[in-house]
Amino acid sequence: MHTRDEVNRFCAWVRRVVSYSHNLQTLRLISSGEIPSANISFDSLTNHLTARHFGTLAVLDIGSAFIGGGALRQLCITCVHLEDLTVGVGWHTLVGNYYVISV
């Protein structure tokens, strides 16, 4: 995926696929290559997951797909069963924000 439109269409397709799952525990998106640009956000997908699958999602692996700091924060706060998270974030997101997750 090389454009914002391609990423948005892909995220919409994934949202449709997982939308009716009542017990989504694991979502892994496997790519044959790295996401070429960190400025193309997958926030719409993570926002959907926090809204619909917050009670069951335990593993989210979208490789190096980028999500913004707000989406990361909401994901970590809302998805109470999240154990394994693989996403791409900017350095400023990790340095500029402090996330406290209690176990």
What are the beta bridge partners of residue 61? 28, 86
The pair of structure tokens assigned to 97 is 């924000």
Around Cβ 24, how many Cβ atoms within 10 Å? 18
Task: Give residue limits of the domains in the chain.
Answer: 4-96
Quote the DSSP letter at residue 41.
B
**CB-based contacts of 3: which residues, under 8 Å, 6+ apart?**
40
Check residue 103 and give its pLDDT.
41
What pLDDT tens digit does each residue of the chain (103 aa) get?
Answer: 788 999 999 999 999 999 989 899 999 998 776 655 557 899 999 999 999 999 999 999 998 889 988 899 999 999 999 999 999 887 666 655 555 444 4
- Beta-strand relationship, 84-88 and 59-66: parallel
> How many angstroms separate the CA atoms of 71 and 75, rounded?
6
> How many angstroms separate the CA atoms of 33 and 40, rounded?
15
Around Cβ 26, how many Cβ atoms within 10 Å? 11
Check residue 33 and give its pLDDT.
64
pTM above 0.75, yes or no: yes
Around Cβ 5, how many Cβ atoms within 10 Å? 10
